[in-house]
Each structure stands twice: as C-alpha cells, then as structure tokens.
Structure 1
Amino acid sequence: MTSLFQSLQMGALSLPHRILMAPMTRGRGTREHVPTEMMIDYYAQRASAGLIISEAIGISQQGLGWAYATGIWSGEQIAGWKRITDAVHARGGRIVAQLWHMGRVVHPSFLQGGQPVSASVTTAPGLAHTYAGKQPYSAARALGTDEIPALLEQFRQATRNAIEAGFDGVQVHAANGYLIDQFLRDSGNFRTDGYGGSIDNRIRLLKEVTKAVAEVIGADRTSVRLSPGSYDQGVRDSDPEPLFVRAAQVLSDIGIAHLELREPPMDGTFGASERPPMAPAIRRAFKGVLILNSDYDIARAQAAVESGLADAIAFGRPFIANPDLPARLKDQLPLSQDDPSTWFTQGAEGYSSYPYYGATEA
C-alpha cells in the first residue's frame, strides 16, 4: 500500500515524500515584478515540501497582469529568483517554476496602453485588481497565428531563464482561465483556424507550448497544470471530459514529468466543481505522475494515494500558515489557520511570519 510519506521518482527528480506545495500567487514582488527579500524566507521556510511549485511567474510583460506578481524575463528578475532557489536548495528542497501567461485577464494598465490577447475577441468577467484599484477588464484581441511562434519563443526563453535561476524544472500554467485555458475551452475559443473548433485544434497551443518547454529543459523536468472541473474567470467548456482526457493523452505522449490537476470537489470550500471529478478518467489516460490539488486534508490525501488515483497531493492554503506542513501531517500535529486578509498584501505579516510547530514568532 502506497503512503503519502513514501518517496517518489518524478521524472528527473527524486522526492522524499508525496506532499507537494501547490503554486500560490501572493503578490510580494515589486512593481517591476522582481522577487523581494521576504520571498527568500517564505520559500526557504517551506523547503521540507516534497516539491515546491512556485507561484505563477510571468513569461513576458504582455502576459502578466497581477499587481506585485513576479516575472522571469529580465536579468534582475532572474537574479531575484536565483536567491530563492539557492535558499531552498540549501535546506535540501526542490523547486520548479510555474510559467504563466494570463491572456485576456491582463488589464491594459499593465501593458502601457496595449491590448490583452486571447484565443478570440472576448472580455473576462468581473474586475481586475490593478495598482489603481479594481477596474473592469477590457476586450482582448485574438492572438494571430503569426504571433504564436513568438509566444512559443517566450516560453522557451522563460525556460532558459528558469534554468539560469536555478529551478529544478518548470510547470506550464494551463489552468484557471488563463491564456492556454482560454484556448482549450469552447466558451472562450471561437476560432476557425487550426487552433479552434475540434478538440485536437483547441489543445494544439497546449501541445506546442509543452513541447517547446520540454525541448529546452527536457520532458523529465517539464510539467503542466490543468483545472478540468473548474469554472475560472469566465472560462468553461460545454463537454469538458473528452477535452481534458485527450489533453492528458497528448501530454502523456510528450512524456512530461507530472500532470497536476486543480479540481475542487462539488462542495469545495474555495471554489467548487460543476460536475464530479474527472481525475479517474484522466488517470487512465495519463501514464506519468499524477498530482491532485484542492481541498485535501490528510485523510482524503492518503486515500487518494493509497487507491492509486493520485501519486501525490499538492497542498495550497495549508502551506500558508504551516511552513512545516509535512512534519505536522506525519506527526498528526494541529494545523495553524491562515489569515485571508493577508493573502495578497505586500508585507511579511501573514506571509513569512508563521512559525514552525512549537516555535514562537520572532
């Protein structure tokens, strides 16, 4: 019987256990999207995770529209992330970079007046969080087929930069209503060219991006995040299971190190799925390491690993207030509760201020 605390070979990486830290954007960078000193402490404190999947990191200014989020296209950004990966490695940890293009969810104020891009001419619902406060999203223009080679090169260069920054691998962010997800799902993709219409056409960008990344760093250090059951930022699909099963088959053929699914339960506490989980069908289609995420406690996590449904579990919010989460879960110690009001502030309070079990705050 497989345990959550058993080691796991994940592509080129050997993990000491199967409790991973999920990617969480926390807004602690600078306005120039450079990592800050407090981020070194935050990530180093959580180095006992079997693997840290970094917060989403913008591959380009065009693709980044989150206040105080970080990027990886400039030398200063690369150097900032190098200090973080060095600190994680010094504590025996492993960390991969999640590469991000937000597509239509980028507000024009981040683009110096430019227009966001997406699969088709659409507008994200709701309000964007900008440096000037909440503002309505603007209509995105359809990304031209002649622009896709440049986009693929941005992902390649971001991967090269991640290697320079000392990351152990990369994860392609293809979930949560961002650019690749906008291409995947039929509510946001109305294209009539080779990137729209059929399932194979709609997953074409995902396939090309993943292959581009894998060509640079190796498939055994490449991973992908999908969110098959979520309705994120106005993006959904009329028939998601065939879409995501086919996407899993294509990614399996590429040979990526792992596939992470963010799939909240139908009664989830932080977002809820509109339908039963697709993980069982995806599990049959994907032959590599499968990681599940969203609303897992220790009992659900252990059951998923024991049953073979998942190879590992990525925990998000529990890692916020419990930097020593693996030890707490293993020793059945009580978990601290995080403060949602500090999730996206710019200070250390509620970020790097949570102590290990039994320790007092500095």
Structure 2
Amino acid sequence: MKISGENGQASGDLFQPVRLGPYKLANRIVMAPLTRSRAGDDGVPRPIMREYYAQRASAGLIIAEGTNISQQGRGYALTPGLYTNTQVEGWRSVTEAVHARGGCIFPQLWHVGRVSHPSLQPDGALPVAPSAIRPEATSYTAEGFQPCVTPRALATDEIALVIEQYRRAARNALAAGFDGVEIHAANGYLIEQFLRDSTNRRTDAYGGSRENRARFLIEVTEAVAEICGGQKVGIRLSPVASVNGSALDSDPASTYSYVVERLNAIGLAYIHVIEGETQGSREVQGGFDLQVLRRAFKGCYMANNGYNRELALDACRRNRADLISFGRLFIANPDLVERLRIGATLNVPDRATFFGGGTAGYTDYPTLTAEERTATKLSVRRASA
C-alpha cells in the first residue's frame, strides 16, 4: 500500500510516517543491511546483536544484515543464519528487543553463491554458482580475507533445492518474529549471478535468454511470497554495480526493467535499489535512468548508496524515492534518525571494527546528549534567522 499520487506515488517528508505493505513506518529512514560478523561460529545471533539492533530501532525499518539461508549460502565467517532452530531462537531475542522499542525489522535472505571459500562450505566443498566462473573477489574466513575459488556449477535439478532453502528461511524468519523479509538479489551474489549474462553461461532453462536468466530470481521471490505474503517481502537490486567481481549485464536497462515488470505480478512491498556502484560513486554509466524502475514498480521504491541528509531530503521532496536506506551512517550513529532530523554532527565509523570483534565499534557509539541536542537546535535556528 502506498501514499496516493501519480502512479501511486507522492512526494513526502523524510521524517513523516509512511505505509509499507501492512505497516505504518514511523519515518522514511531505513537501516540498510550491514554485514558485521558478530554472530557465533554456528550462525546463531549473539546477545550483543540484540543490543545493537535495539539501539537503532528508531529507524522506520531495520533490514538486518545478510542472513544465510543455508550453510552452502555462507561466504563470510561469523555471519548469522536462518536454517537451524537455535538460529531462530537467537533472532527471536533480537526481534523482541526491536519491537519493544517500537521498531519494525526484516532480515535479508542471503545466498552468496560463488563469493565464498571451501573453508565455509559443508565438508569443505566448492561453492556453487550458475556457472563455474571464478570471481575476482575475496571471502571473509576464520583466517581472514581469502581469494575466492572457482565454483561448481549447480545442476538443473539442484536449483529447486536452493529455492526450498529460501522458502525454509522465510518460514523461519516469521517464526523468529521478523515483520517480513528482504531477498538479497544484488552485489554479485547468487541471484544476481543467475541474472547477469556476464556470470551466467548456462544452456538450460536458467540460462541464455533474459527470461531464462531471470527465472531463478522470480521463482525464489514467488516461493518467499507464498510464505510471507507479497506485501511483507522486498528485494534488493544493484543494476549498475560491479562489486564482488561481477561484471555488468550487457543490457542492464532491459534486464532490470524486465525483472521489475515480473516482480509487479507478485505484489511486493518494495524494491531496494543500489544507485550507482556499491559503496562507491552514485554516477550511473551508460545513460540508464534508474528512475525508470521507480516509475515502473507498483510498490515502494527504496533508494540506497551514499545518501546524506541533503540528498535524502531532496529525493523525498522531488518524489524520487519513497524510502531512503542508510548503511555506514547507521554503524556509527545509533540515533541517526534524530541526528538527521535536527541536523546534528554525525559520528565517524571506525573501519577497523566493521567485521568481527565485540562491542567496540559496534554498540559503544555515543548518542546525542540533551545538551548537544539543545545546542544543535539553537545553531540551526541562528543559521536560518
């Protein structure tokens, strides 16, 4: 459900409530999924994750970090999963803490495909992918970052088993108390590996034509929507990002426009679009106007990548997005919503503590004091006088 307006869309205030599917979000600010590698070796969320997410519950929506749908889907050590009962119980503690503070939270369902390492795989097996093409990328293992290897191409009859892993993870997400789910179909991971002709050289029903390459994405999305209901499902896309050694599709405008057209039939709550290069330039090469996807999609359009306060306010004001997701700013600013609201100075994240470790650089970033809030508000008033 969306605010009324042309094509179902209308400009809005970043800090005002907005409808997302069945939910009324407190604001249009979303915490983007952020891999922090603070789970246990068994993929069970640790108690510090409960505090971390509860601290950030003022976001209109939290999209929890990439969460493995199976051990096969793991590409980074100490990342959480949703494929065992103990993982579900660990996540339930997190969702309860977020809900207790009035927040809304989805997990991001994740299968990395070829962006992995045998040390993370069941019995040291090769990672899987649509085609046996080694990515120029690294995987975070117990020994640190290691180069990815050449993966094994999935057999056609194995693909249904992977889709079933997504279905099971969606069911477990609801059991853990999540309000919905996001499907990770971006950043060079498994779903995008199927979608792009640069990484998919299959000759069966899942390769070749654009329609065949999009088949896996659509079947995964349909399976997840059957479990959760389409209005509690979003999907993340990165049409023009070449992260994790994933070369662009030869015709991203046509490929991703086709995907959005097919997603409309499923009735999703939102698409989450990385605008430009992941964690890099927002400039889009080749003349592909991502607003084409925004106008074509019938649900909410969530924009991501390099947004600051000014860009976010402008995007909402000009009706270029319904929701804005912030990643790295949320790492260092648990009270990011309030800081953006009053124009306060932002804490700077410590990159050395992004992955692994304990509370340092995770739950110890300071929030604004009452004195700092007052001083900021006075400064803003003087500047606008």
Q: Shorter-chain TM-score category? A: over 0.9
Give 1:37's aligned residue: 47
CA distance in 2, matches of 1:28, 1:134: 16
* Structure 2 residue matching 1:300: 3-state secondary structure: helix
Cα distance per residue 1:21-54 (max 9 Å; x no partner): 0000100011111110110110000000000001
TM-score, structure 2 normalization = 0.90
Cα distance per residue 1:317-358 (max 9 Å; x no partner): 111111011111111111111111111131110001012111
Q: Give the one of 315, 339, 357 matched to 2:350.
A: 339
Give 2:100's aligned residue: 90
Moved over 4 A (4+): 271-274
TM-score, structure 1 normalization = 0.95
Q: Confirm whether residue 270 of structure 1 aligns to residue 280 of structure 2.
A: yes
Cα distance per residue 1:39-86 (max 9 Å; x no partner): 011000000000000100000000112011111111111111000000
1:279/1:309 contact within 8 Å kept: no
Give 1:250's aligned residue: 262
Q: CA deviation at 1:277?
A: 5.8
CA distance in 2, matches of 1:274, 1:9: 29
Q: Please tell me the residue identity of whatever aligns with 2:119.
A: S
CA distance in 2, matches of 1:293, 1:277: 16
Give 2:158's aligned residue: 147
Give 2:302's aligned residue: 291
* Structure 1 residue matching 2:234: 3-state secondary structure: strand
Q: CA deviation at 1:278?
A: 3.6
CA distance in 2, matches of 1:274, 1:308: 19
Q: Give the one of 13, 25, 28 matched to 2:23.
A: 13
Q: Please tell me the residue identity of whatever aligns with 2:267.
A: G
CA distance in 2, matches of 1:304, 1:201: 34
CA distance in 1, matches of 2:138, 2:183: 25
2:273/2:303 contact within 8 Å kept: yes
Q: How many residues align?
A: 358
Larger radius of gyration: 2
Q: Give the one of 122, 126, 129 matched to 1:115.
A: 126
Q: Confirm whether residue 4 of structure 1 aligns to residue 14 of structure 2.
A: yes
Give 2:213's aligned residue: 202
1:176/1:232 contact within 8 Å kept: yes
Equivalent residue runs for 1:184-195 within 5 Å: 184-195=195-206
Aligned-residue Cα RMSD (Å) equals 1.6
CA distance in 2, matches of 1:240, 1:19: 27
Q: CA deviation at 1:359?
A: 7.2
2:115/2:138 contact within 8 Å kept: no
Give 2:253's aligned residue: 241
Q: Give the one of 302, 324, 330 matched to 2:341.
A: 330
Task: Report the more deviating stretch, 81-90 or 193-202.
Answer: 193-202
1:228/1:278 contact within 8 Å kept: no
CA distance in 2, matches of 1:261, 1:19: 14
Q: Please tell me the residue identity of whatever aligns with 2:175.
A: E
Q: Please tell me the residue identity of whatever aligns with 2:356.
A: T
Instruction: Name the % identity.
Output: 47
CA distance in 2, matches of 1:45, 1:171: 21
Give 1:73's aligned residue: 83
CA distance in 2, matches of 1:208, 1:283: 22
Unaligned regions of 5+ residues in structure 2, if any? 1-10, 372-385
Unaligned regions of 5+ residues in structure 1, if any? none
